[in-house]
Structure formats: structure tokens, C-alpha cells
Structure 1
């Protein structure tokens, strides 16, 4: 049975049981501050389990893209070494929100596995929660009794809290679970050892495929449990493991989920992957297998994350994606001998394979390919730099053991995992102190953990059962009551209070727009609201203090000055999006945005620099729409199909419901929940401040509107007046500046000529100072020249012989610069490298640099360090 058919049968089965089939949520979470990625099937339904929203149906089924690479659920380091762990995986799930419970969930799971998929019953084991007296949670007798009617008792296993009690987090809904495990070993192996003894013992062919979670309790901040008012079912079945069981394989990677990708890697590298059926393979082949598994797993995670809007970067979720991709590149570089970008070529295979069910990977194929290719090229360059640094560390190491701190520096700066460093050192007959590396790693993690520690108290509920309403589209102040509060203490922000109101005019951060600020005003006091965010369908108002009387009547007042400026920038963002698509082409799509009172930032897909002329055209396009005084047309709660039929743009990576809000200004139509002006005339004027690249195929524009534009033009006028005054108020300012530039260019040429002549004069003087050290003509000296002059002088001295090692220092305008020249014959014969020399000596002037093996430069900021740098230069030839 092909994987596509396995997925379809699951969804069709639960559709026949009255379940609504819903699409996968994006793998990247944008509206849940507690999670970086969607790491389980239930993540998109959290608000329903918490009672903060109502699902479209009490019965739902889906397949959810999941990513487990950070935090509590982190499988990254296992991936590749075994046959069943993955970074990105699909979780097939069926859900009951206060509807059916254990009996139906267990019976349907058994029916699907044994009657539809026809897995032999003798290959299955199940587990039931054994109870936990310390937490006053009883043995799950109900689940045990249900399973007894379906399977022999000797195939039912009692599981502990770790394996059979599921929790959303330290607080929140939780409950016992019943897992289903499949034994896919050969008959011969089964005869030797009972599968029951191998359950939950990390055996690669006795694996959990389905987990039925029965949410009965709520975990409070003090660790105690209370019964939930409604009971829910949350199940998850690993799609890749299910395919392994149904396709008669003993490895997920031998299923058709992965084989097309593996075949592409084989084609590119010329190396072969051996299936799990092949035994007694060589150590070399095992390394090849691991590397290929890492690559075909990781490209799925990275590709879907990029398709859902998360670009690789140096912070947050973007850093995690970059780290996954770099792990794949490094395995290819080390074990498959791939020195050029190649992982991007797998995207086409992935899109053909999964595009039917996940259309985002097909529609974003070109962008994903370009981003991965650029990341590969960049990291391969970084690897090369890291290898040079490692060579330098080895050269300075006495004995055969490198410092663990140095190995960690390679990891921290260049992304070198310790196993790569160990491998390279082993080839040189060396090693590094792992204990020192681990200590450095632990210290970094401890610092990071300490910085992000958060303590959250339970909600104090003042008005039970209230469903908060947002009234901010129509009002900026409203009479309100506080319905619940909680205290949050973090190292980063200190003590803050989260306040929920019965209704609110405050817009919570979302869609790129920052949250509103303002006040809560009662008869006796005023509380500042410093931010507004949304979490699990609750609008949270952040304050540094609570009102003395939390049960009082309040008026919630939005800071209208900030709100007005923000709305101008948000509406201008929509107009600019249309302008970019009109002028650059319809391939332009939003890939990120920030809208605040001060400015707007907009990331979009485009594969070339936007020219100055194109920027002017975009500005003119937006300003023309402002002058046309377009009235806002707002469509609230309209069916998404109707909005799309009207031409509304939907953004990839966003989660939309059945009904949406559409914002229309003339021909600009977008699905958007943000705050906007009523008429484009309110924007006043639009000005682009900058344009540049943020990733391969992604450009960024920053712009301003309204009062910020007035301030900008005022500053421009002031600067022009200052320039005129400096130039003695010429009649034609532009002509005067051009004349000044011409004069400057002529003077520069004259100075360059004088410096060249000066350098020639120095040639003879310095030639007499050359020292013979170990057969090398050596000189390290400071010269009163420009860096360009020092280079010319170095090349002039280079004509004197074939064994010159020269370091010249300059300090023009108190900016220290080191130039190293090494005769090409010395580079080859003595293994000297000018780039390595300047990187090392550059530390003394608090800087760095690089270049070619025979000539390199390093700049810095510590002129006083020149003397020591020149003194240390001789060490390279001694």
C-alpha cells in the first residue's frame, strides 16, 4: 500500500465515523508564544481543550505536520542514527471535544488497524496507565476493561507516568493514555524473545505507532490535579511508522515516504544507500547510510518550514531551521564528499511527492529551492573558514590533545559539531578534551536557561465562563470588567500581570501589527497597559501592577495616537504589497511584516535587487492611491471562499478559519485582522527608506507614513541648509558638490602618486633591514603609508627574491591595518598562509581579516597593539 493511500484511508475511515476532516496547520506557529513549532497533532486545538473556543465540530480528524527539534520534545540528535526518529513527521489524529471518550476511541483504533489496515492482531501490544498514588491518579481500569474485550490480557502492558500519562506542559489539560505498539520482527526473532519485553525499550522493530490520550484532568501551578468539566480524546499516530508496518519494512527510511529522496541523493553523489534488510555492512557504509538518512529527513523539515514562512536566520525559530539545514550540509560534506550545494535539488522530488496533499510545498517550490541553495553555499564557505581555524589550532597545540574550549569555539562560531571536530582531529592522530567541551556547552545552556526562566501562576478566575469579545474595530474605549488575572515572573521582563477582560478595544499583536497600549481607568486609579497579545484564543493585557480593586468597573482606553500611526502604516503596507506586485510582478508574495507606530517593514519574494527607479514607481503607486482618497471597504466574517472569489490575497503559513475578514482599498484586497484607516487620505504620504536582501530570494523594504514622513522631509531640508552653508551658499548647490568631488578626485590621484614614490623610496631602506631566519628573508615593520601604499610596497619588495615573509603595519587616521606578503614559493614549500597569519596577528589590534595565501590584510581598532603584533610575526618563521 502506497503512503498516499495509507493517509487517505485514515481520513476516510474517521470521516465515516462522523469526523470533520481539517487541513494541517502550518508547521511554524505564529500565534502561540508557548511553542516555537507545531510539535504535535493537538497544538492547533489547544484553545478548545482549554475551553477558550468552540471547534467547528466535536469530532475532527487530520494529518498534522510536526517538528520536534527544540525544547522538551527534541529528537534532532537521534535522527539518522536510528531508523524511526525524525525532525519533521506527520501525525495522523482523531479528536473528540467533549463527545466520545475511551470506548469509541479504543474500538475505532483497533478496527482501523486490524480490519482496515489488516495488521495481524498477534503483532500488536497495548499499554494502559498503571496509576500514580503520589499524585492521587488511579489505575486506568476503564481502558483496561475495554482492551480486555479486544486483545489477550498478556498483550496489555501497564505503563508508568513517563510512558502513559500525557501533559500539555507544566500546567494545563492532561490525562492517562493508551499506546499501541507494533512488533514487525521476523518470526524467528519473535520466537526467541517476546515482543512484550521490548515495548518502550527503544527496539527499532517494536515501536509505538498510536497514542490515545484521554484528557480528564487539569494540572495546576502547584502540581495538583483537578477534573476537567468535559472529557476529551486526543490521538496521534506516526504516519511514517505506520507506513513501515504496512509496507513490510523494518525502517521508516525504506518506505516510499523516503525512498524517492534517497534515490535522488544516490544519483547526485554516486554513493549507494543500503536498506535495513542488509546486514553486516561495513563501518564506511554505515556512515554513508547515516548521512543519507540525516539529509533526506532534514530537507523535509527545512523545506516545509520555509514554505510556511520561516526563513533561516540567527535567532529564534529561524536559527533552529538554519541549524537543521547545517547539520544536513555537514553530514554531506564529511561523509558524502559533497563540496558544492546539492540538498536544494531534493526539493523538486519532495514537491512532486507531497504536493498533492500539502500544496504549499508545490506553490513555494522555487523560493524553497533558492533559499536552501544560498544557505548551503554560505555554510560551505563557513566550513572552509572553520577548517582553516582548526588547522591553526592544531599548529599551536603541543602534544596531541586540543583544548575542549577551542573545540567549543569552533562549534559556537562556525557550527562545527564536536563529532566533526573529533573526526578531523582523528585523521591527524589527535583528539580534544571532551570534558572541557561539555563544560563549555553546559555553561552556555545554563546562561540561556537562566535568561529565559518563566514562572507562571494559575489563572485567578473572577467571572467564570465568560467569552471575551474584541470590539476594537469600532471603538477605542469601552466599559469593561476583569474576568481573570495571573502573575508571570521572568528573568527577561521581571514581574508582569496578564489581565483578561469581558470585552476589549485593545488589538492583540498579530499579522505583523504590534499590540495596542493604553490604560484601564476606574473611579480611583489608572493602570497602564504596556502590551497586548493573544494566547490560546485569550487576549492578554500586560501590566506592571494590578488595580487595588480588581472587581471594580473600568474603562479600557487605547492610546489613540499610537493606534492611529500604526493604522496608517498597516494600510500603507497593503497598498505597497499591491504596488510591488504591479511593478515587479505577481510572483511577489509577503514573507513577513512588522507594523508599529514608527515605521513599517515588509519582506517579500523577489529574485533581484529592486532598482531605484522601481522604488520610485512603488512610492508613486502608493501615493497615488493616497491622493485618490480610497474608502476602506471591510468585510467581516465572510466565507473564505467568497473572499477568495473577490480576489483577496491569502498568505502562506497563516491559519485561516471558515470565515475571514477582508480589507479592501480599491484594487487592494487582503485577508487581514489588523487595524486600518477609514480612508487612504489619512496616511498623508508614503516614503521608502531602504531596500535590501534578507535571504536568498527575499527582499526587505522599510518605509514610513504620516508624521514620520513630515519629520523625514524636515530633516532633509535641515541637512540641505547645512550643506549650503558649508559650501558658502552657492547659487547651484548640486553643481558645487560635483565640483568639490572632482577636485577631491584630482587631489587623491596626486596623493596616490606621491605615496607610490614614497613607497619606492622606502623599498631600498627596508630591503636593507631584511633578516635571514631559517632561510627566510623576514621583515616586520610599521610604515607611514596608507594601506594601499603598504600593499604596493609589499609587492615591490616581493620582486627582490623568492623567499620573502613580510608584515607591514599602517595606522592611517588611527585605524591600524596589517598587511602580510609571503612569496608563493614559501606558501608551497613551508606551508605558510598569509590569511592565517593576519587572522592571528589581527587579535593584537582587536580585529581580523583574510585574503589569499600569499597576500592578506587585517584591520582593527587598537593602534597600541601594532607593536606586539609585529613582535609576534617572527614566530611564524622561527
Structure 2
């Protein structure tokens, strides 16, 4: 059975069971601070389980793309070495929100597997939760009794909390679960060891394929459990593992999900899969990782140096280094696999087709960049090996290669072993652990349980219409983090505060009670569909009524910038072409940032045209035309632009200014005239095929022109109020260039004369021609002097000191024959001597320099250098 048919049969089965079939949500999460990526099928539905939103149906089924490469669920380092873990995987799932429960979930799972997919009942095992004395949760007898109707009791296994109790996090909805495992070993292997002994033992042919979670408890901050008012079903079946079973192969990578990609890698690399374990691992890593990276880019997450972008870059670089090391791929090649991937998965996930060009360009550029990094790292590593006095390299140096230069430690280890070296693993692990601990402490967040003040399930946002309102607190909790210290999260029955989203920053403002006491709101965010207000303190009377006031000036400036991003988007598509698509934005009160797809730097004329286009719409005084809660399809039919990677509901809000119409939940000015003026302040590349414009509007433009005007008159004053200040500056530049040339010539003449004097001061010590002296030259002059003397004398050792602008300089020159014969190293010597001038430096073995802040130490350095040749 082909993988496409397997997916279709699953969705059709649950459609017949009255489930609404929904498309996969974007993999990159934007409104859940607890997760970077969707890491399970239930993640897009958290708000329903938490009771913060109503689902379109109480029964839903889908195939959700998931990524497990960070946090608690991290399979990255296992990928490639076994045959059933992946970074990106599809999770087939069916969901019940307060509708059916264990009886139906178990019955339908068994029906689908054994009657629709025709899996032999004799190769299946199931597990149920055995209970936990610490929690006080009992054996899941209900699930056990239901399973007895379908499968022999000796195939129903009792599992521990780790395997058979599912939790959303440290707090929140949770419950026992039943896993369904399949044993696809040969009859001979089964005769030797029973499958029940291998369940949950990481055996590659005895694997879990489906997990049925029975969500019936709520975990509180103190660890205790309470019953949920409504019971839910959350199931997840690994699509790739199911394909392995139904296609009768022994590895996920032998299914038609992966084989086309593997064949393409074999062709490109001229390597055969299945003949060499190291090559096989590399091919599995690459075939898995290209899927994760391609889907992430399609969902709007580009590789970068921070957050989710860093995770994607790390996955791609892992693939590149496996290709580099084991497949001899020294040129970009992974981007060439995208075409095969799209042919295989483009029908089920059309975003891959639509973003093909971007995906290929980004991957190709990232490959080229990291291959340059690998080349640089190889040179640095070669230098470390060449100058090492022992066969064990410092773990600190290996960590520096990884942390500073991005050179992976496993590649370092491989190269060192090939050259008969090793490195201090304890030192490296210590450094790595310290770095991880710093990151963990910075991001650690401790939160109390919510304290309910007012029972109110409906929270209303009224900020599109007002910036002030009387509100009541419905719940609050205290959260503590190393970054922000102690904060309070407040939820109101209604709020005028806009929560961060769609690139727009969250509102700030204050609460005022009846007595005049004020609590400042420092930020507003949305978590699982709930608007949360952050405050440094808690109102004195939490049950009172408060006047909630948004910082109107900041909101207004932000609205100007947000509306300007819409006009900018329209301008770019009009001037550069319809290939331009928004790839990210940040809308603050002081500026706006807009990322978009385009493959070349904008010319001066293009930038001017974009500015003029936006400002023409500002001068045109276009009114805001807003539609709230209209059907998604109606909005698209009316021309609204939807962005890739955004999660939209069945109903949406459209914002229209003239011919610019977009789906948007942000706040905007009532008329484009409010923006006053639009000014681009920078344009540049942020990734392959992605450009970034930063711009300002309104007050920020006024400040910009005021500062430029002030700087102009200050410059003119310095030029004695010249009538043509630009021409006066050009004359000054020409004069300065001529003077520099004269000074350079004078310095050269000075160095030439000095060279003649210094020849008489050279002395011979132990067969070395030696001189240590303080001179009155700059760094360039000293270097010229060293190499001129070096061209005339063999076995030369020079140390010159100089004071320039109150700072000390040391320059050391050693003839190459001395470097080789006597193991002298100018870099090491100057680094040690630099301590005398309270500085440091380095360089090559034959020439190096050091700078410091203590010129009085030059004398001591010149004296100390004698010890190296004594």
C-alpha cells in the first residue's frame, strides 16, 4: 500500500466516524511561548483542551507535521543511527473534545488497524497505565477491561508513568494512555524472545505505532491531580512507522516515504545505500533532515542564529557535515533533493510546491556558507595540530572551535583521530555543560497555579474600538524567571490591550482602581488564545473594578507603522513583482521591519520608487475599510493576501486601504494620512532570497529630519558656512588624501634612515642576530622595517616597542629558519611579553604583534625578551 493511500484511508475512516478533517497546522508556533515547534499532533489544539476556545467540531482528525529537536522531546542525535526516529514526522490523529472517550477510541483504533489496514492481530501488543503510588493514580482498569474484548490478556501489558501517562507540561491537562505496539520480527526471532519482553525497549522491529491518550486530569503546580470537567481523547499514530508495517519492510527508511530521496542521494554522491554502515547513517541523516528543513522554511521559519531559526540551522548543518565527512560532498547538494521531496509530498502539503524556489535558494546558500565555515575550521584545526606539543588537544580549544567558529565537535574528533590525536573530553563536556546551564537558567520559568477571581469563560478583546475600559480581573498567577524576576500574569473579562501577534508588539499601559492606586502593564501577550497582561505587582483589591488604559501614544505610533507595512508590501509587489511575499515583520512604536522574498539588492531608484509609492497613498488619505469575522474563503475571493506559516481560523478579519487588502489581526490608523510620512532607513539581506527593509513613520520621521538638519548646519558651521558644503567637503577630502601620502612618504624615509642606524646595533647571541629596541614609528612602519631587515640578515630575531597615542605596541620578527630549527614562535612570545604592557596579541610564528594600555612596560618587555635566546 503506497504512503499516499495509507494517509487517505486514515482520514476517510475518521471522516466516516463523523470527524471534521482539518489540514495540518503550520509547524512553527507563534502564540505559544512554551513551544518553538509543533512537537505532537495535539499541540495545535491546546487551546481547546484548556477550554480557552471552542473547536469547529467536537471530533477532529488530521495528519499533523511535527518536529522533535528541542526541549523535552528531542530525537535529533538518534536520527540516522536507528531506523525509526525522525526530526520531522507526520502524526495521524483523531481527537474528541468532551465527546467520546475510551470505549470508542479503543474500538476504532482496533477496527482501523485490523480490519481496514489488515494488520495481523497476532503481531500487536497494547499497554495500559499501571498506576502510580506517588500521584495516587490507580491502574487504568477501564482501558484494561475494554482491551480484553479485542486482544488476549497476555498481550495487554501494564506500563509505568514514563511510558503510559501523558502530560502537556509540568502543569495542565494530562491522563493515562494506551500504546499499541507492533512486532514485525521474523518467526525465528519471535521463537527466541517473546515480543512482550521487547515492548518499550527501543527494539527497531518492536515499535509503538499508536498512542491513545485519555485526558481526564489536570496537573496543579504542587504536583497534585484533579479531575477535568470534560474528558478528552488525543491520539497520535506515527505515519512513517505505520508505512513500515503496511509495506512489510524492516525500516522506516525502506518505505516509499524515504526511498526516492535515498535514491537521489545515491546518484548525487555516487554511493550505495546498504553496503557501509557509516555511509548508511549519513544517507539516513540527510534524507530525514532535508524534510525537516524544507517544511520549516515553507512554514516561514528561516535558518538563523537565534531561537527556532537556530534549531533549523543546526539540523541543516548536521546534514551538511554528514555529507561532507562520509559522502565526500564538498559543494552544495542538499538543495537538489527538494525536487524529489516535493514530487512525493507536494500533493498532501501544497505549501512545499508554492515555496519551492525559496526553499531551494535558502538551503543552497546555507550549504555554501557552512562549507566555508568547515574550510576555515579545518585550517584552524590543522594549526592546532601543527603547534601542539602533546597528542591530546585541550577540550577548551575544541569547544572554542564549536562555539566561536561553528565547527562541530564530532568532526573535530574524527579529524584528530585520523591524525593520531585525541582531545580532553572532560574539559569539553564541562564547558558545554556550563553553556547549557547558563541558557537553561536564563529561560527557566516557574509559575504558580492560576488563582480564579471571577468565573468567566469568555474573554473579549475590545481594543479595535477603544483604548480605555472598565474591567474585572478573572484570574491571575505569579511567574518567576531569571530574566524578568517576579512578575504577575493577569487575565480580564474584557481588555483594550492588544496582545503581541502578527509582528505587532503588545500594548503597554496601566490599571487604576477606585482609590487611585495604579498597576503598570509592561507587556501583553497571547497564550493558547488567552490575552495575558504582565505586571510587576498585583492590584491591592483583586476583586475590584479597574480602569484599564492603553498607552495611547505608543499604540498610535505602532498603528502608523503597522499600516505602513501593508502599504510597503503593496509597493514592493507593484514595483519589484508579484513574486514578493512577506516573510516576517516586526512592528514597534519606533520603527517597522519588513522581510520579503526577493533575490537581489534594491537599487537606489527602486528604493526611491517604493518610498514614493507609500507616501502617495499617505497623501491620498485612504480610509480604513475593515471587515471582522468574515468567512476565510470570502476574504480570499475578495483579494485578501494570506501569509504562509500563519494559522487562520474559519472566520478572519480583513484590513483594506485602497487596493491593499490583507488578512490581519493588528491595530491600524483610521486613515493613511495619520502616518504623516514614510522613510526607509535601511535595506539588506537576511538570508538567501530574503531581503529586509527597516523604516520609520510619523514622529520618528520628524526626529530623523530634525537630526539630519541639525547635523547639516553643524557641518556647515565647521566649513565656515561654505555656500557649497558638499564641494567644500570634497576639497577637504582631497587635501587630506594628499597630506596622508606626504606623511606616509615621510614615515618611509624615517624608517629607511632608522634602518641604517639599527644595522650598527644588531648583536649576535648564541648564533642569533638580535635586537630589542623602542622606536618612534607606527605599526605599519615597524612591520616594513622588520621585513626589510629580515631580507638582509639570516637568523634574525627582532623585538620593537613603540608608543602611539598613549598606547603600547610590541612587534616581534623571527627568521623562518629560527622558527624551524629552534622552535621559536613569535605569536607565543609576544603573547607572553604583552603582559608587561597590560595587553595581549598574537600572530604567525615568524611575525606577531601585541597591543596594551601601559607604555611604561615596554622597557620591561624589551629586557624580558632576552631570556628566549639566552
TM range (shorter): over 0.9
Q: Does 1:581 align with 2:573?
A: yes
Q: Does 1:552 align with 2:544?
A: yes
8 Å contact kept, 1:820–1:838: yes
8 Å contact kept, 2:813–2:848: no
Q: Greater shift after overlay, 48-57 or 492-501?
A: 492-501
Rate the CA distance shift 1:539–1:877 in 2: closer, same or farther, 3 A: farther
- 1:658 is matched with 650
8 Å contact kept, 1:61–1:95: yes
Rate the CA distance shift 1:807–1:215 in 2: closer, same or farther, 3 A: farther
- 1:363 is matched with 354
Q: Whole-Å Cα distance in 2 between the matches of residues 158 and 403 of structure 1?
A: 48
Aligned residues: 867
Q: What are the superposed Cα offsets for residues 484-516 of structure 1, whole Å, 9 maximum, x if unpaired?
A: 111111111111111111111110000111111
Q: Whole-Å Cα distance in 1 between the matches of residues 731 and 502 of structure 2?
A: 50
**For residues 158-307 of structure 1, what are the structure 2 equivalents within 5 Å?**
158-274=158-274, 285-307=276-298
Q: Does 1:673 align with 2:665?
A: yes
Q: Whole-Å Cα distance in 2 between the matches of residues 332 and 870 of structure 1?
A: 51
Q: Whole-Å Cα distance in 2 between the matches of residues 5 and 830 of structure 1?
A: 73
- 1:98 is matched with 98
Rate the CA distance shift 1:779–1:506 in 2: closer, same or farther, 3 A: farther
Q: Does 1:529 align with 2:521?
A: yes
**For residues 727-766 of structure 1, what are the structure 2 equivalents within 5 Å?**
727-764=719-756
- Matching residue within 315, 322, 330 for 2:313: 322
8 Å contact kept, 2:834–2:852: no
**TM-score of the superposition, structure 1-length normalised?**
0.92
Q: Does 1:377 align with 2:368?
A: yes
Q: Whole-Å Cα distance in 2 between the matches of residues 671 and 780 of structure 1?
A: 73
Q: What are the superposed Cα offsets for residues 79-126 of structure 1, whole Å, 9 maximum, x if unpaired?
A: 111111111111111111111111111111111111221111111111
8 Å contact kept, 1:845–1:866: no
Q: CA deviation at 1:518?
A: 1.1
Q: Whole-Å Cα distance in 2 between the matches of residues 697 and 856 of structure 1?
A: 42
Q: What are the superposed Cα offsets for residues 306-348 of structure 1, whole Å, 9 maximum, x if unpaired?
A: 2222222222112222222222222222222222222222222
Q: CA deviation at 1:702?
A: 1.4
- 1:435 is matched with 426
- Matching residue within 384, 400, 405 for 1:409: 400
User: Secondary structure at 2:539's aligned position in 1?
Assistant: coil
5+ residue gaps, structure 1: 275-280
Q: CA deviation at 1:19?
A: 1.1
RMSD over aligned CA atoms reads 3.2
8 Å contact kept, 1:838–1:856: no
- 2:131 is matched with 131
Q: Does 1:562 align with 2:554?
A: yes
Q: Whole-Å Cα distance in 2 between the matches of residues 873 and 666 of structure 1?
A: 76
Q: Whole-Å Cα distance in 2 between the matches of residues 872 and 351 of structure 1?
A: 67
**For residues 8-27 of structure 1, what are the structure 2 equivalents within 5 Å?**
8-27=8-27
8 Å contact kept, 2:456–2:493: no
User: Secondary structure at 2:364's aligned position in 1?
Assistant: helix
Rate the CA distance shift 1:540–1:869 in 2: closer, same or farther, 3 A: farther
Q: CA deviation at 1:236?
A: 0.5
Q: CA deviation at 1:418?
A: 3.6
**For residues 495-644 of structure 1, what are the structure 2 equivalents within 5 Å?**
495-524=486-515, 525-644=517-636
**TM-score of the superposition, structure 2-length normalised?**
0.93
Q: Greater shift after overlay, 746-755 or 137-146?
A: 746-755
8 Å contact kept, 2:831–2:850: no
8 Å contact kept, 1:27–1:66: yes
Q: Greater shift after overlay, 405-414 or 217-226?
A: 405-414
Q: Whole-Å Cα distance in 1 between the matches of residues 83 and 595 of structure 2?
A: 38
Q: CA deviation at 1:868?
A: 9.3
- 1:399 is matched with 390
- 1:277 is matched with none
8 Å contact kept, 1:106–1:146: yes
8 Å contact kept, 1:819–1:855: no
8 Å contact kept, 1:214–1:232: yes
Q: CA deviation at 1:846?
A: 6.2
User: Secondary structure at 1:657's aligned position in 2?
Assistant: coil
Q: CA deviation at 1:387?
A: 3.0
User: Secondary structure at 1:25's aligned position in 2?
Assistant: coil
Q: What are the superposed Cα offsets for residues 624-663 of structure 1, whole Å, 9 maximum, x if unpaired?
A: 1110001111111112222122222211111111111111
Rate the CA distance shift 1:601–1:837 in 2: closer, same or farther, 3 A: farther
- 2:696 is matched with 704
5+ residue gaps, structure 2: none
Q: What are the superposed Cα offsets for residues 733-780 of structure 1, whole Å, 9 maximum, x if unpaired?
A: 122112112212222232333334444445555667778999998888
Rate the CA distance shift 1:223–1:621 in 2: closer, same or farther, 3 A: same
Q: Whole-Å Cα distance in 2 between the matches of residues 874 and 264 of structure 1?
A: 64
Q: Whole-Å Cα distance in 2 between the matches of residues 872 and 61 of structure 1?
A: 78
Q: Does 1:42 align with 2:25?
A: no
Q: What are the superposed Cα offsets for residues 657-694 of structure 1, whole Å, 9 maximum, x if unpaired?
A: 11111111112111110010000100011111112222
User: Secondary structure at 2:138's aligned position in 1?
Assistant: coil
8 Å contact kept, 2:597–2:691: yes
Q: CA deviation at 1:65?
A: 1.3
**For residues 76-95 of structure 1, what are the structure 2 equivalents within 5 Å?**
76-95=76-95
Q: CA deviation at 1:37?
A: 1.1
8 Å contact kept, 2:358–2:689: yes
Rate the CA distance shift 1:781–1:380 in 2: closer, same or farther, 3 A: farther
8 Å contact kept, 2:373–2:407: no
Q: CA deviation at 1:4?
A: 1.8
Q: CA deviation at 1:407?
A: 2.6
Q: Whole-Å Cα distance in 2 between the matches of residues 7 and 876 of structure 1?
A: 74
User: Secondary structure at 1:587's aligned position in 2?
Assistant: coil
- 2:2 is matched with 2
8 Å contact kept, 1:83–1:251: yes
User: Secondary structure at 2:476's aligned position in 1?
Assistant: strand
**For residues 444-463 of structure 1, what are the structure 2 equivalents within 5 Å?**
444-463=435-454
